[in-house]
Amino acid sequence: MSAPLAKLERIPASVASAADYEPLARKRMTEAAWAWLAGGAADELTLRENIAAFQRWKLRTRLLRDLSGGNTRLELFGRRFDSPILLAPVAYQKLAHPEGEMATALAASANGAGMVVSTQASVSLEDIARAATAPLWFQLYVQPDRDFTLALVRRAEAAGYGAIVVTADAPVSGPRNREQRAGFTVPPSIEAVNLRGMKVTAMQGEGRDGALLLGGPLLSAAPTWRDLEWLRAQTRLPLLLKGVMTAEDATQAVAAGVDGLIVSNHGGRALDTQPATIDMLPEIAAAVACRVPLLLDGGIRRGTDVFKALALGATAALVGRAYMFGLAAAGAVGVSHVLRLMRAELEIAMALTGCANLQTIASSCVRKGTP
């Protein structure tokens, strides 16, 4: 394969949707880095299903509705967002662009969009906070060193982050076969800078009866519901749980005191053959019954996808790979353009379904069909 092309300095006129950035990004990343960004777990069935499932939900046009004073504004945890489209946490963004998370933060700030910063960001959470005017949340992986985990929370609080997002659906990494075949490793020049200084303990070793994971040290250190309750007691920031895919876990999380839930299957990167997040959203929304905000992550490629998520019970939606394709192709300008394209598509969908604001988007706006 030839060497990656230089990043775009201007956006081609042919880019009309977020999907148009995917081939542009592919040409500007190494084969290994592309496998990391675009790939999923095992046979990547869930990765594809996340996208395909949105196509089975159809929009219902409504006529002659009063759209005066329409807007996409959202109030969430005391902050105003210009739209319900937030940037999902993605690790090691310097793999996609030399400016990494700083470029993403610049684009989020230019669009009034929320950004969730990964524990494994390639730029420090403090540097991102100093550069951003956008609302920032901090995504937290509970580390085996619980004292270091608490120190991360304290750093996020001190830097002005507005919420803590605990990702709980990946106590182990999924089998990333595409990455394995491409020989992907994080280059020495890129690191999870927020984890510098963490005490490293041995996480390798077999469990009982030759088990490769079960009964071993890695899963013995994995977080449990007790850790979530401990975190709830440690911070006054809103606490969200990411990775919820069942009504049972949603109910238990609300009982544990979380302030919000994110329906997510880790973008199809953890456990393959899970259902699509949009298909699980209705039953989780019914279980939560509006007690806490409900966000959806996974498979969103257009503003119509965001609309469908809101219609089925979500308060907001998280975009992941779509903005990362923009970042890889054109840096901050690419991310900003993706946000604007998706917001424009959302507003068009709202206008043509007769919804003047987010509060009027309801389940009656969609129906289940076939692709």
* Structure tokens given for 21: 């950035």
- Cα dihedral sign, 99-104-109-110: positive
Q: What is the pLDDT of residues 80-104, one digit of tens each?
A: 999 999 999 999 999 999 999 999 9
Quickly list DSSP for 133-194: -S-EEEEEPPPSSHHHHHHHHHHHHHHT---EEEE-S-SS----HHHHHHT----TT---GG
Based on the residue annotation, tell me whether 266 is a catalytic residue of this protein.
yes
How many other C-beta atoms can be found within 10 angstroms of the C-beta atom of residue 210?
7
Quickly list DSSP for 22-84: HHHHHTTS-HHHHHHHH--STT-HHHHHHHHHHHHEEE----S---TT----EEETTEEESSS
Q: What is the pLDDT of residues 51-65, one digit of tens each?
A: 999 999 999 999 999
Q: Which residues of 222-240 are buried (b: 16+ CB within 10 A; e: fewer)?
A: ebeeeebeebeebbebbbb
Question: Which structural domains are found in the chain, ordered by start?
Answer: 19-66+74-200+211-368 (3.20.20.70)
Q: Is residue 203 over pLDDT 60?
A: no
Determine the distance from the C-alpha atom of residue 309 to the mean position of all C-alpha atoms in its chain, rounded to a whole number.
14
CA distance 135 to 155: 16
pTM metric for this prediction: 0.96
> Is the distance from CB of 85 to CB of 341 less than 8 angstroms?
no
Q: Is residue 27 over pLDDT 80?
A: yes
Q: Is residue 281 over pLDDT 90?
A: yes
Beta-bridge partner residues of 317? 85, 296
Average pLDDT over residues 113-117: 98
pLDDT at residue 215 in the model: 73
Q: What is the pLDDT of residues 166-197, one digit of tens each?
A: 999 999 999 999 999 999 999 999 999 999 99
Percent of all residues in the chain with a pLDDT value above 90, rounded to a whole number:
92
Q: Which helix (H) or strand (E) holds 297?
A: strand 294-297
Q: Is residue 365 over pLDDT 90?
A: yes
Which one is catalytic: 7, 97, 266, 308?
Answer: 266
CA distance 68 to 298: 32
> Is the distance from CB of 265 to CB of 271 less than 8 angstroms?
yes
Q: Which helix (H) or strand (E) holds 127?
A: helix 125-131
Q: 370 pLDDT band (50/70/90 cuts)? A: confident
**Average pLDDT of every residue of the chain:** 95
pLDDT at residue 200 in the model: 77
Task: Give the lowest-confidence range in 186-190, 204-208, 346-350.
Answer: 204-208
Percent of all residues in the chain with a pLDDT value above 70, rounded to a whole number:
96
